[in-house]
Structure 1
Amino acid sequence: MIPFSPPYIDEDIISEVTHTLQSGWITTGPKTKMLEDEIAAFCNVQKALAVNSATSAMMLVLHWYGVTRGDEVIVPAYTYCATALAAMHIGAKPVMVDAGSDFNINTQKIKAAITAKTKAIVAVDFGGWPCDYDAINAIVNDAGIRAIFKPAGEQQEKLGRILVMSDAAHAIGTVYNGRPLGRCADITVFSLHAVKNVTSAEGGVIVLNMPAPFNNEAVYKTLRLWSLNGQTKDAFTKSSAGGWEYDIVYPGFKMNMPDVLAAIGLAQFRKYKSALLAERKRVFDYYTRAFKNFAWAICPPFEKAGCSGSWHLYPLRIKGAGEKERNAIIEKIAAHEVAVNVHFKPLPMLSVFKERGYNIEDFPVAYELYCNEISLPVYPQLTDELCETVVKAVAESVTAVLPV
C-alpha cells in the first residue's frame, strides 16, 4: 500500500523528541523558541510565533487586527474550510472569491468583492504554489480602495488599509518573485499539521512582516501574550526559582505550542531546508514528466519565472471527467493499493456554508477545477519506483473509466 501523506520521522527526530522528554520540560519553552527563530530566519523576517494550529494562528491574527462581528474577510472559494472558519469564529463574514486557473484566488475578482466592511484578505497558496501577492498588495494600496477602508481600533488606524494575510498552510519554502513566503504578505501563517511538508503533529506558525510604523518585535510579544491566556509570564519563566508571580492583562486564548511537539518540527525543519524540499520536487517533477505524455492529463500549471512552490500537492486533473467519473477513477486507483485524495471540495459545496446562502454556481472555476481533480501522493519517502507504481495505477484507472 502506498499511503497518501505519511509523516517523515527518522532517528534524528526521535532523538530530538526524546531529548525533550528527558529534559523535564515538555510544554512551551526553549524548543518552541528555537523553532520560531529558525523559521523566522528561513523566511528572512525578524519574528515568528509558534501556536497550536494554523486555524488558531489565523484567528489570533484577525482578532489582533480588530476584526469582529459585522466585518468582512475576503477568502478564496477554493480552499480548506479553516480559512473561512477562522473569520467566522471571531464573528466576521467570509466573502468568497472564485479561483483562477492556477487554483489560487483570482486577483482580478478581488476588487469587486471589497466593501467598506472589508478588513482583511486571506490569500491561500494552493498546494504550495504562491498567489499573485504583487497584485493583491496593489489592490489594498490603491487610493480608491484605501479611501473606502473604515478603520476601527489601534492596529487598523496604524495600517490604514485592508490587512493581507497569507494562509500558507501548504507553502513553507515557497518563493514568490524571488522572495520567500513570509515576506510577501503583512502576515503569513504556516501549518505544521501531520500531513504538511514540515510537521509538529499539530501546530501553526505566524510569520510577521508588518510594515512601518509597526514594530514586529512588539507585535510578536502581544500575540505571544494573547496565545497564553494573556498571562505576563509563560510557564517556563514562572518555573524559575522565585519566579511564580504573574498577572493576566488581557482576556486571551490558550493557543501555545508545547516543546514536545516543537521538537518534532525543529528536527524535521532542519532536514527540510537541506534535503526534504528537494525530494518533494523530485517526486513532483517525476509525475509531470510521466503524465505530460497522456492526452487526458492536465498537469498543474505551477511554473513561473522567479517562483517556486513547496510541492505539497500534485493536483492532477483528468480531461473529460466529471465528479462521477473522477470518483470512479479514485476507486480503481485504490484497488491498486495507492492512496490518493481530492483538494478541495469548494467551500460553497459544504453544508455549513450552503446553509448560510453560499452557492457553488457563483464560483464556476472553483467547481471546474474540483470536479476532475485527483491529488497524488508527494513525499520524500517515495522512490522513483514507487512513483512509477502511482503513475501506472492512475493511467490504468483512467483508461478503465474513460474512453481514451
Structure 2
Amino acid sequence: MKIPFSPPFVDQDVINEVVDTLESGWITTGPKVKALEEEVCKLTHAPRALAVNSWTSGAILILKWFGVKEGDEVIVPAYTYSATALAVLHCGATPVMVDVKDDFTIDPEKVKAAITSKTKVIMPVDIAGLPCDYDAVNDIVNDPSIKNLFTATSENQEKLGRILVLSDAAHSVGALYKDKQTGVWADITIFSFHAVKNITTSEGGAICINLPKPFDNDAEYATMRLWTLNGQTKDAFTKSQGGGSSWKYDIVFQGLKVNMPDVCAAIGLAQIRKYTSQLMEERKRVAERYHSFFSQKNWAQLPIIKDSDRTSCYHLYALRMNDITEEQRDKMMEHIADKGVSVNVHFIPMPMLTLFKDLGYNIENYPVAYNNYSREISLPIYPQLTDADVDYICNVIEEAYQKVI
C-alpha cells in the first residue's frame, strides 16, 4: 500500500471551474479572484480579503505597508516554517524569536518579555490548524505600558498607535477561536492556499483585513490591491475592458508583483464553496479516527483538535511520542516509509536551520520548541483517505514505535 502525505483535492467541480476560466479567455487576475475574495469574507466574516500569490508575498506586502524597515523588530515563534521569519528579513528588519507552549503555539509570556521600543509587529502562528491564544496577544499590544513603549516611524504606525498583530494563519483557514473564525482575531490575518493546504489555489494566499478605526478597511483593501500590482492604478482586467482612456494607468508607489491569477483562484473557488460542509468534515473524520486509536496508547501524546476555546481545522495531525529522542523518531519514520506511508515533521525549529544559526540564533534558547520537534510525526490527513487507510496508518505507526522503542 502507498499512502501519500498530502495530495491536493481535485474533483470534477475543481476541473469544471478551471476549464471555465481557460475557456473564458481570461486567466490572470480578474472575476475568479474577486469571487474567491468574497468567499473568504463569507467564511471568516472579515471585512475585506485580498488574494495574493503566496503567504510569503502577502506577509512581505503587509510588513512594507506598515512601514517595517531596517532597525525594526518583529516577534515570531521559533517553531514555525521559515517563511514567517524570512518575510521579516526581506524587509530588512530583525525577527525576534520566542519559545512556544506545549500546544505548539506562541507563548504570550515570552512575547511580552521580548518587546522593546523597536518592536513593530507581533506575528503569532496557528500551528497544524489550531489557533493561538489571540486574547492574550491582543491584551499585550493594548496594555498601556506596552503602547507607551511603541515608537511609530510611519504613517500607518502613527494611525494604529501600537504594535500590529499580524496572524500567520497559513494552517488555520476555517478554525475557530471562541466560536469565531480565524481571520477576525488579528489586525491582519494571512492564509496560505499552497498545494498542501486545506484549501489550495496551487500557490497562493489571502490577506484578511480587520483593522480598527480610524482605518477604513475598504480603503486599505484598495491600497493593498495596488501594492500587489507594482503600485499600478489599474489592473490588466480593468484596462482590457476597452473604451476611451481605459488603458491609461499610473504608478503611484513602489509596489510588488504578487497578485493571484484567475486560473489559480478557480481551484480554490471550487474548494471553498464546499469547505465547511464537506472537506473539513472529512478531515475531522480522519482526525477523530486517529484520536480514537492513539488515545489508547500510553506512549502517544495526542494533538489538541478541540478545547474550551479552540476548534482546529484539522490541517495536520501532529502526533508526539512520549520519552523518545530525535534519533528514535527518525528511525520510526524510516520504518513507516518502508511500509508505504508518507509522513512528515512540522517543523524543524528555525534556530536549527543554517541561515538562522549563521545569524546567531541558538536552539538551546528554545527548549519547548526543540522538545516538540524532536518527538513529532505529522500523519496524513485529507478527505481522500478511507477509514481502512487510516487504520493501516495507525497500525504502521504502532509497529514502528514497538520496533524502535
Shorter-chain TM band: over 0.9
Q: How big is the shift at 1:304?
A: 1.4
CA distance in 1 between counterparts of 2:18 and 2:339 reads 36
Q: After superposition, give the CA deviation of every residue in 1:187-223 in whole Å (9 maximum; x if it has no partner).
A: 0000000000000000010001101111000110010
Other-structure match for 2:35: 34
Residue aligning to 2:287:
284
| 1:306, distance to aligned residue in structure 2 (A) | 3.7
Residue in structure 2 matched with residue 43 of structure 1 by the alignment: 44
- TM-score normalized by structure 2? 0.98
Render the CA deviation track for 1:287-322: whole Å, top value 9, x for unaligned.
Answer: 011001111111113331242111000110111211
Instruction: Name the structure 1 match of 2:232.
Output: 231
Contact residue 322 and residue 371 of structure 1 kept, 8 A: yes
Deviations 1:258-295 (A, max 9, x none): 00000000001111122101110110111011001111
CA shift, 1:36, in A, is 0.3
Contact between 1:102 and 1:302, CA under 8 Å: does it hold in 2? no
Asked if structure 1 preserves the Cα contact closer than 8 Å seen for 2:46 and 2:210, the reply is yes
Deviations 1:317-376 (A, max 9, x none): 111211110000000001110000000000000000000000000000000000010000
Mapped pair 1:194 → 2:195: yes
| Contact 2:315/2:381 (8 A) holds in 1 | yes
What is the match of residue 21 of structure 1?
22
Other-structure match for 1:107: 108
Confirm or deny: 8 A CA contact 1:164 1:185 kept in the other structure: yes
2:140·2:146 contact (CA, 8 Å) conserved in 1? yes
Aligned 8 A contact 2:66 2:157 in 1: yes
CA distance in 2, matches of 1:101, 1:278: 26
Q: Counterpart in 1 of 2:179?
A: 178
1: CA distance between counterparts of 2:247 and 2:67? 32
The DSSP-based 3-state class of the residue aligned with 2:145 is helix
What does residue 335 of structure 1 align with? 338
Match of residue 345 from structure 1: 348
Deviation of 1:239 (Å): 0.4
1:301 has 2:304 as partner = yes
Backbone CA RMSD of aligned residues: 0.7
Correspondent of 1:355 among 355, 358, 373: 358
Report the Cα distance in structure 1 between the residues aligned to 2:309 and 2:95, rounded to whole angstroms.
Answer: 31
- Tell me the residue number matched to 2:209: 208
Which of 367, 375, 383 is the aligned partner of 2:386?
383
- Whole-Å separation in 1 of the counterparts to 2:33 and 2:17: 12
The aligned amino acid for 2:112 is K
Moved over 2 A (4+): none
* Corresponding residue SS for 1:119: strand
Task: Work out the CA distance in 2 between the residues paired with 1:330 and 1:306.
Answer: 33
Listed as ranges, the matches of 1:109-148 within 5 Å are: 109-148=110-149
**2:296 and 2:335 mapped to 1: Cα distance?**
21
Alignment partners' CA distance in 2, 1:365 and 1:305:
23
In 1, the alpha carbon distance for the partners of 2:44 and 2:288 equals 24
Letter in 1 for 2:339: H
Secondary structure of 1:256's counterpart equals coil
Q: CA deviation at 1:397?
A: 0.6
Give distance in 2, aligned partners of 1:109 and 1:153.
26
User: Is 1:270 aligned to 2:273, yes or no?
Assistant: yes
TM-score normalized by the length of structure 1: 0.99
Q: Which residue of 2 aligns with 1:79?
A: 80
Secondary structure, aligned partner of 1:268:
helix
Cα distance in 1 for residues equivalent to 2:378 and 2:132:
19
How far apart in 1 are the matches of 2:363 and 2:156?
34
Report the Cα distance in structure 2 between the residues aligned to 1:306 and 1:317, rounded to whole angstroms.
22
Quote the Cα distance in structure 1 between the aligned partners of 2:205 and 2:42: 16
Structure 2: which 5+ residue stretches go unaligned? none
Q: Deviations over 1:51-103 (max 9, x none)?
A: 00000001101110111111000000000000000000011100001010100
How many residues align? The count is: 402
Contact 2:130-2:304 within 8 A present in 1 as well:
no
User: 1:179: Cα distance to partner?
Assistant: 1.2
2-structure distance, mates of 1:130, 1:12: 30
Alpha-carbon separation, structure 1, partners of 2:26 and 2:92:
36
Percentage of identical aligned residues? 57
Query: In the alignment, which residue of structure 1 is the partner of 2:8?
Result: 7
The one-letter code matched in structure 2 to 1:331 is: E
Give the partner amino acid of 1:152. T
- Structure 1 unaligned spans of 5+: none
SS at match of 2:345: coil
Equivalent position amino acid for 2:57 in 1: S
Aligned mates of 2:52, 2:292 — CA distance in 1: 38
Q: Give the whole-Å Cα distance in 2 for the aligned partners of 1:257 and 1:246.
A: 20
- Report the residue type matching 2:382 in the other structure: Y
2-structure distance, mates of 1:302, 1:283: 11
1:312 counterpart (290, 304, 315): 315
What is the identity, as a one-letter code, of the residue corresponding to 1:108?
E
2:128 partner SS: helix
